[in-house]
Amino acid sequence: MMTPRVPAPRHRLRRALAAAAAVAALALAAPAAALDLSAMTAAERDAFGAAVRAYLLEHPEVLLEAVDVLNARQAEAQAGADAALVAANLPAILDDGFSWVGGNPEGDVTVVEFLDYRCAVCRRVHPDIHALLEGDGNIRYIVKEFPILGPQSDLSSAFAIATLLQAGAEAYGAMSVALMELEAPATEPTLVRLAGELGLDGEAIRARMDDPEVGRRITETRALAIRLQINGTPTFVFDDRMVRGQVPIETMRTVVAELRAD
């Protein structure tokens, strides 16, 4: 996986924003030469610092405005970078030849989810995804098995894929939901019992986990995630838009509506 960029410490960000905001404000009222710190005497620099401090104490809202501008610019830059990544990998995202397709396979909008069954955020968003699919009826939904949280995640995804290979798409859909809602630790005996509760042959599915195709599919999805710079779950792609992290159902509906309006 690619290493995520580490943000600057909060206190450093605050100091930088304070300085930038103060300088910008003072620049409106002072000649440009007055802002040349290197040309100032020690007394002038002290006076400048005192003026900056006084301005920020009198107008603390400037910092909030600066933070909003910074966040908006960063979000815009991230969206642009994500759009380029999605465009470069769109065939593998929308039609890799092996990922399970649910919802309406002929839907006019495709929602792709990179998920991990042991991911708490994936579990929180799970009901919203299914409410979206049930409430719309014209969304194609693709699951990308992306286990990143350790052995139980690996085992869960392998069992899900083995279910797809052994018992078919309908069985996989039921198993995927059951794995997402499973409260107990994911162990082989637990998953075999879970399969039995769904009317499936758990032992046959466990044996199918040894099929090299199971590992190949997980490996290919991980490689795709690396290319997309995905380092967490859930991550969504709505047609050609990437959305990282938990997405409220209202936002999902808005994105779908925007895509249809384009």
Q: Which pairs count as long-range contacts for 55-60, CB under 8 Å and 24+ apart, including other chains? A: 55/22, 55/25, 55/26, 56/18, 56/21, 56/22, 59/25
pLDDT at 43: 87
pLDDT at 30: 47
pLDDT at 51: 85
| Predicted TM-score (pTM) above 0.75 | no
pLDDT at 36: 73
> Which two structure tokens, joined as six digits, stand for 181?
């809602």
C-alpha–C-alpha distance, residues 164 and 100, integer Å:
8
pLDDT in tens, the chain (262 residues): 333 333 444 444 454 444 454 444 444 444 444 467 778 888 888 888 888 888 878 888 877 777 777 767 766 667 778 999 999 999 999 999 999 999 999 999 999 999 999 999 999 999 999 999 999 999 999 999 999 999 999 999 999 999 999 999 999 999 999 999 999 999 999 999 999 999 999 999 999 999 999 999 999 999 999 999 999 999 999 999 999 999 999 999 999 999 999 8
Specify the amino acid at residue 237.
V
Give phi and psi for 144, each to the nearest 5.
Answer: -105, 115
Distance between terminal CA atoms of the chain? 33
Specify the amino acid at residue 26.
L
- The whole-angstrom distance between residue 58's C-alpha and the CA centroid of its chain comes to 39
C-alpha–C-alpha distance, residues 145 and 116, integer Å:
7
Q: Which residues pair with 238 in a beta bridge?
A: 111, 241
Ranges of each domain in the chain: 10-88, 100-261
Could you please state the CATH topology (level 3) that the domain comprising 100-261 is classified under.
Glutaredoxin (3.40.30)
The strands making up 101-103's β-sheet, listed across from edge to edge, are: 101-103, 139-145, 109-115, 235-238, 241-244
> Which two structure tokens, joined as six digits, stand for 168?
């078919």
The predicted-structure confidence for 208-220, as pLDDT tens digits, reads as follows 999 999 999 999 9
Three-class DSSP category at 76: helix
pLDDT at 201: 98
HSE-CB of 5 using CA atoms within 13 angstroms: 5
DSSP string over 153-182: HHHHHHHHHHHHHHH-HHHHHHHHHHHHH-
Torsion of CA 224, 226, 228, 233, to 10 degrees: 90
pLDDT at 1: 36
Q: Which distant-in-sequence residues (6+ apart) come within 8 Å of 45 by Cβ?
A: 37
